[in-house]
Amino acid sequence: MKTLTFILCLFISTSIFGQEINLDGAYLAKSDDTHTLWLFKNGYSSKIIYKDQQYISTQGGPYRFDGKKLQITWEYNDAHPQSVGTMTNAPTSADNSALTVEGTTFQKQLAKKQDLDGVWRITGRQNAEKKTSTIARGDRKTIKILVDGYFQWIAINPVQKGFYGTGGGKYTFANNDYTENIVFFSRDNSRVGANLKFKGEIKDRDWHHSGLSSKGDPIYEIWSLE
């Protein structure tokens, strides 16, 4: 009887509250010359709208999905910053090949699992003398989402509804070689199409990232999992 009662309660709980479903992956929708890329990884989501040579906007934050509704708490939205801190519940369905949100269908991109897939936050930098300075975890942060061969970095301050820039595209990581192909860049559309090569290594679960920035300046950054 106790077992039957437990199973019944579990069924009722699942029916009422829904079971969280993992959406990890990259999803893409196209309308004429406009692309909408939606990245999901480890409970975080980011949606980017861009054209072939023009960045338009991005918005994202932590999400939950129960198979019927996609709930997102917005941490940034450069087109509508007033929405930061609010929550959206959108009718949503998903299967192995697509994600449909409020009538728009996003095709799931081919899975390309790589060791850097995750949601990262910059936590340190090295200077020319190889001295490391720690970046304290505060309201302002720069995060980087990598999933299935796609990446995006976002510099934000959710508390102040601040947005300071983003960029992204496709990436590969193998044998400590990390390469980015820029598909969108909010600060400079002329950077689209650039290929940037870096060295990448995971040490004690942190990602050590070094090479030259998009401006050609030497960098050595340390990223930690969010």
Domain shared by 145 and 94, yes or no: no
Of 108, 134, 159, the residue at which a domain comes to its end is: 108
For residue range 180-199, list pLDDT tens digits in order.
999 999 999 999 999 999 99
| Identity at 108, one-letter amino acid code | K
Give the 3-state secondary structure of residue 190: helix
Task: Please give the tally of structural domains in the chain.
Answer: 2
Domain shared by 133 and 164, yes or no: yes
Of 50, 73, 108, the residue at which a domain comes to its end is: 108
Give the model's pLDDT for residue 217.
87
Give the model's pLDDT for residue 18.
59
Of 187, 137, 190, nearest to 167 by C-alpha is 187
Flag whether 101 is in a domain.
Answer: yes
Give the model's pLDDT for residue 151.
98
For residue range 114-155, list pLDDT tens digits in order.
999 999 999 999 988 889 999 999 999 999 999 999 999 999
Taking 80 as the threshold, does the pLDDT of residue 1 lie above it? no
Instruction: Provide CB contacts within 8 A for 46, sequence distance 6+.
Output: 38, 39, 58, 59, 60, 145, 152, 154
Of 56, 77, 108, the residue at which a domain comes to its end is: 108
- What's the N-to-C CA distance of the chain in angstroms? 43
Phi and psi, residue 140, nearest 5°? -85, 140
Instruction: Provide CB contacts within 8 A for 69, sequence distance 6+.
Output: 18, 89, 90, 91, 92
Give the model's pLDDT for residue 138.
95
Domain shared by 96 and 175, yes or no: no
Can you tell me which residue has the tokens 């304290």? 136
Flag whether 136 is in a domain.
Answer: yes
Predicted TM-score of the model (pTM): 0.90
DSSP 87-156: EEEEEEEE-SSEEEETTEEEEEPPP---TT-EEEEEEEEE-TT--EEE----SSEEEEEEETTEEEEEEE
Domain shared by 216 and 163, yes or no: yes
Domain shared by 93 and 122, yes or no: no
Give the 3-state secondary structure of residue 46: strand
Domain shared by 68 and 96, yes or no: yes
Domain that holds residue 46: 19-108
For residue range 10-41, list pLDDT tens digits in order.
343 333 345 789 999 999 999 999 999 999 99
Q: And the tokens for 27?
A: 């999803």
